[in-house]
Structure 1
Amino acid sequence: MSRPIPPLNALRAFEVAARHLSFTRAADELFVTPSAVSHQVKTLEENLGVMLFTRDSKSLTLTSAGKAYLPGVQEAFKQLVFATHQLHQSLGVPSLKINLPPTFAVKWLTPRMQRFMQAHPDIDLKISTAKEMVDFTREDFDMAVRYGRGIYPGLYSELCLPVEVFPVCSPLLLKDPTRPLASPQDLRFHTLLHDESTYADVSNPNWAMWLEHTGIADVDATRGPSFWPSHLVIGAAIDGLGVALAKKHWVVDDIASGRLVRPFVGSMQVEFAYYLIFPEDRAQDPRIRAFLEWMREELARDAEAQATDSTGASL
């Protein structure tokens, strides 16, 4: 009689813990507690009759049995994701699952979704947000947007948005004659709002870097409240709480509407950018192709609007 397959949840906990070599980081990915991950792994070890990890107070390492077992488990999950994706295609499921950074979803995609829905009423977008990189071999997503250099082996990658940052604030802050805000030096009279979004990019500007770039030395870049994700710091600026350092594409609409203003000129270009990515073998998926073409049209629309605005004409 064949031995029963171990519980799927236990296998998943093992795979994630083995990838991170940490029950705590595995718990963060699985949205459970570290003790729950540890319990699932222990259940799997008892089911298999072997130890998969060596545990001590400071580290977690795979045993020789764990190292031998891991590739097969990872391949099994990869095949499950692939089979699910193929099933959706064969059934003609009209949904498109996209994972995005939170502020990209709030400040760029959502305001434009109505046009996609009108152009493609047969495709339902399913949007989720995360700052971590999607692993298409383990997660049931069709596409993702990620912040980086655009180099993702095995994945198609296309530039969505370059990144430029500059200070923004509520127009109300410009009306107080006792607290001027006509030049970067005047930031010393105002509260700095900090974006605590974390990315693996040391060039992603914060206030200290922006002030150094601008040549300002007498402003304390450590003071002021912090926010995560980025759209929260933008909201705080709109509410008049202080001056935020914002990415251009996140505040274009707020500036056009008058909710925000640029108090003075001066910006920084950032090396990293936002890229649309998906597995190369999905390039002919009609849903993906539809979204890709729509995104290109939206970027062209944005570029045209910005070019018109730069000439002084109305948008």
Structure 2
Amino acid sequence: MAKIIPPLNPLRVFEAVARLGSFTKGADELHVSQSAVSRQISLLEDYLQVRLFHREQRGISLTEAGRAYQQEIGPAFARIVAATQNLLTQSRGGPLRVRAYTTFAAKWLMRRLPAFQQAYPEIDVQLSTDVTPADFSSDALDLAIQFGDGGWPGVHCDPLFDDCITPVCSPALLDRPGMPLRCVDDLKHHRLLHSRYRKEDWPYWLAAVGQPALAAHPDNMVFSSSILTYQAAVDGLGVAIGQVRLLDHELDSGTLVCPLPRVVRKGLAYYLLRPQRDAMPRKVAVFRDWLLDQTRHTRA
């Protein structure tokens, strides 16, 4: 005896509408019109010779038969989705392994990864942090985000964004009694915050704005990382030199402000590196295209 299988597209539409409780929401999830959803449900009801929904003035509701049918096929569709995602992950060579600098990962990439995972749930991103140069011949990596001049031999490099620096501080420092911060010369009254790995930023910026002598500032505080330096600025300990494009969240929220108008480009940039291969794996291509699109919208 032949197995009775209803037309699968109407069945898929029924599962979405029954789960979401709305023709409109089902249409949105499936990216079709509400009238198309209604036609598919009618096709399924005609095939089964069973009424699956009550059409009411305030919306729809499952009939008793429809509810029983949904309870049977809903888990089946969930298993199909899970099995498909597992198969895609395995067939595409496992997780996507990405390495980035800690500051870039914490202040920029981590805030955007949830959106990527929502858009591409089948790609499992494994993120690690390190400042050592990536060696694709020995490191278990698909992609690396590094900082420099783009001169890495034997790899493909996509520029992400330039290194743009400017002083940043808590808004509470702007009008501190007796110690305002409104021009470069006012910096002599404020503590300068430094990151150990970017100790030349203050001298570079001060030279660019014509005040190199202020680099000999007597009141300094040095931190072991840029992340700690930025947090110290948020907490009002002094004025830091900020990588503007890594601080868009703090600047948009107002926890940090740029007290002085000059942004200086240092000539270096963040790059996305990948090994030279004949073909780019799909997971790499998808992440690369998404990352480049994200950087186009990053604060200039």
Measured at CA, do residues 184 and 283 of structure 1 come closer, stay the same or move farther in structure 2, by a change above 3 Å?
A: farther
Q: Secondary structure at the match of 1:302?
A: coil
8 Å CA contact 2:89–2:122 kept in 1: the answer is no
Measured at CA, do residues 126 and 282 of structure 1 come closer, stay the same or move farther in structure 2, by a change above 3 Å?
A: farther
State how far apart, in whole Å, the 1-side matches of 2:171 and 2:90 are. Answer: 53
Q: Secondary structure at the match of 2:269?
A: strand
1:238 correspondence with 2:234: yes
Q: Larger Cα Rg: Structure 1 or Structure 2? A: 2
State how far apart, in whole Å, the 2-side matches of 1:217 and 1:283 are. Answer: 49
Please list the CA deviations of residues 131-188 of structure 1 after superposition, one character each: whole Å capped at 9, or x if unmatched. Answer: 1101111111111011111122211110011111000000011131211110010001
1:122 correspondence with 2:118: no
Root-mean-square deviation (CA), in Å? 2.1
Partner of 1:140: 140
Please list the CA deviations of residues 219-278 of structure 1 after superposition, one character each: whole Å capped at 9, or x if unmatched. Answer: 334641112321211111001110000111111211110100111211211111010001
Of all paired residues, the percent bearing the same amino acid is: 32
1:210 correspondence with 2:205: yes
| Cα drift, residue 205 of structure 1 | 4.3
8 Å CA contact 2:168–2:259 kept in 1: the answer is yes
8 Å CA contact 1:283–1:289 kept in 2: the answer is no
1:264 correspondence with 2:260: yes
| Cα drift, residue 89 of structure 1 | 8.9
1:300-315 correspondence to structure 2 within 5 Å:
300-302=296-298
| Cα drift, residue 207 of structure 1 | 1.3
8 Å CA contact 2:92–2:281 kept in 1: the answer is no
Partner of 1:296: 292
State how far apart, in whole Å, the 2-side matches of 1:290 and 1:169 are. Answer: 37
Please list the CA deviations of residues 32-84 of structure 1 after superposition, one character each: whole Å capped at 9, or x if unmatched. Answer: xxxxxxxxxxxxxxxxxxxxxxxxxxxxxxxxxxxxxxxxxxxxxxxxxxxxx
8 Å CA contact 1:188–1:218 kept in 2: the answer is no
State how far apart, in whole Å, the 2-side matches of 1:128 and 1:154 are. Answer: 22
Partner of 2:8: none
Measured at CA, do residues 217 and 270 of structure 1 come closer, stay the same or move farther in structure 2, by a change above 3 Å?
A: closer
Q: Secondary structure at the match of 1:241?
A: coil
8 Å CA contact 1:157–1:276 kept in 2: the answer is yes
State how far apart, in whole Å, the 2-side matches of 1:120 and 1:291 are. Answer: 9
1:275 correspondence with 2:280: no
Measured at CA, do residues 179 and 144 of structure 1 come closer, stay the same or move farther in structure 2, by a change above 3 Å?
A: same
1:148-297 correspondence to structure 2 within 5 Å:
148-197=148-197, 205-219=200-214, 220-221=216-217, 223-281=219-277, 283-297=279-293
State how far apart, in whole Å, the 1-side matches of 2:156 and 2:89 are. Answer: 19
Measured at CA, do residues 92 and 211 of structure 1 come closer, stay the same or move farther in structure 2, by a change above 3 Å?
A: closer
1:93-104 correspondence to structure 2 within 5 Å:
93-104=93-104
| Cα drift, residue 119 of structure 1 | 1.1
Aligned residues: 212
Q: Secondary structure at the match of 1:296?
A: helix
State how far apart, in whole Å, the 2-side matches of 1:128 and 1:216 are. Answer: 39
State how far apart, in whole Å, the 1-side matches of 2:197 and 2:212 are. Answer: 24
State how far apart, in whole Å, the 2-side matches of 1:255 and 1:166 are. Answer: 12
Paired amino acid for 2:181: L
Structure 1 gaps of 5+ residues are 1-87, 199-203, 307-315
| Cα drift, residue 283 of structure 1 | 4.5
8 Å CA contact 2:96–2:284 kept in 1: the answer is yes
State how far apart, in whole Å, the 1-side matches of 2:195 and 2:278 are. Answer: 35
State how far apart, in whole Å, the 1-side matches of 2:204 and 2:258 are. Answer: 18
State how far apart, in whole Å, the 2-side matches of 1:282 and 1:102 are. Answer: 30
8 Å CA contact 2:168–2:241 kept in 1: the answer is yes
Measured at CA, do residues 299 and 236 of structure 1 come closer, stay the same or move farther in structure 2, by a change above 3 Å?
A: same
State how far apart, in whole Å, the 2-side matches of 1:164 and 1:274 are. Answer: 11
Q: Following superposition, which runs of at least 4 residues in structure 1 exceed 3 angstroms of deviation?
A: 88-94
8 Å CA contact 1:207–1:221 kept in 2: the answer is no
TM-score (norm 1): 0.63
Paired amino acid for 2:201: N
